[in-house]
A = this chain, B = another copy of it.
């Protein structure tokens, strides 16, 4: 059927072992033999059988990357950065050769997350990177931890990227300072003079949601505004529809609203669309802020005030961690800073009529 190592060996007049050695480059081989083998490989168009070598070597060059939604640039950017490290042209070229990323779309489903983890273990993945916020559900967290421990026991490196750390002894974790970022964002709005600020939070049971919300509340509390704001907090999905609907709901609930903070930039886009449809100008009538600083944030009109999250950097770092090229800190947790990016979608509230 397909050409095998033995065929190449025969053609080059050497043993299969020798061919294997030149192909893997992990063992000294004479220059002339080497050349002969390489030529045979060319002539026969030989391509290594990955499964066979994975079996024999008890290791594979596959790395799993779990994301909630690959169509969302938030995840796309991280996945792309991870992958850039692993693949040809990346950091993975050093050492045994390029790894391939298996991107798994969980769609935010707990169940599918576990299923994929099992499938990855079945592939004997060399590493697994889990990106994005986790669902807050004790049962699921326990199941997840167990699965990850099993993976680690099977020799896979596990990296959490843009997630909160799991209970000890958890995997290496790159976590975003969502709380601090949210706090600074709310402070920015307060500093502009806003006193009635709506908050469109993400799905209720998500860590990302909770942390951002905590930062928001902390800023309000520090400004002595804690009390009345709970009714200005609305939960929804991380999409534009949630932003649109949420903005309308907030407006109906509190017409005196002068600013809205959205769970992320995509939601903020929906918010802006809703205000536009209601005849409100941003930022003259109402300020809007997002989170993440996705590429479009700088380009829309008005450009969006948001909080930059280092998705690219974190993804790249996660990739190197997955390759074992970067060393993890002692406690296994790396916090990535987030930074406020003030633009033109926020301004002082309108003068009171």
Q: Which residues of A contact B (CB under 8 A)?
A: 1-2, 45, 47-52, 54-55, 58, 60, 62, 69-73, 75-77, 79-80, 83-84, 87-89, 98, 100-105, 107, 109, 112, 115-116, 118-124, 150, 154, 240, 266, 269-270, 272-273, 276, 282, 295-296, 298-301, 303
Q: In the assembled complex, how far is the CB of residue A266 from the closest CB belonging to chain B, in whole angstroms? A: 8
Shortest distance from the beta carbon of A343 to any chain B beta carbon, whole Å? 11
Q: Is the CB of B45 within 8 A of A55?
A: no
- In Å, the complex CA distance between A118 and B115 comes to 28
Taken together, the copies of this chain in the complex come to 2
Contact B88 A124 (CB under 8 A): no
Q: 10 smallest A-B Cβ distances: which pairs?
A: A51-B54, A103-B103, A71-B76, A269-B299, A51-B51, A71-B80, A50-B123, A50-B122, A51-B55, A71-B77
Residues on B with C-beta less than 8 A from A298 are 240, 273
A1: B residues at CB distance < 8 A: 58
Are A51 and B88 also in contact (CB < 8 A) when A71-B80, A301-B272 are?
no
Contact between chains at B121 and A47 (CB < 8 Å): yes
With A89-B109, A240-B298, A301-B301 already in contact, 6 other A-B pairs whose C-beta atoms are closer than 8 Å: A49-B124, A50-B123, A73-B73, A87-B104, A87-B116, A282-B301
Give Cα distance in the complex from A50 to B107, angstroms. Answer: 24
Taking CB atoms, residues of chain B closer than 8 Å to A62 are 102, 123
Chain B hits for A69, CB < 8 A: 80
Instruction: Give CA–CA (A270, B301) in the complex, Å.
Output: 11
The answer to whether A102 touches B101, judged by C-beta atoms less than 8 angstroms apart, is: yes
Residue from B52, B73, B269 within 8 A of A71 (CB atoms): B73
Residue contact B103 to A115, C-beta cutoff 8 Å = no
Please name all residues of chain B whose beta carbon is closer than 8 Å to the beta carbon of A276 when the two chains form the complex. Answer: 301
Q: When chains A and B are docked, how far (Å) is the Cα of A154 from the Cα of B52?
A: 15
| A51: contacting residue among B60, B75, B77, B150, CB under 8 A | B60
Compute how far the CA of A297 lies from the CA of B237 in the bound complex, rounded to whole angstroms. Answer: 19
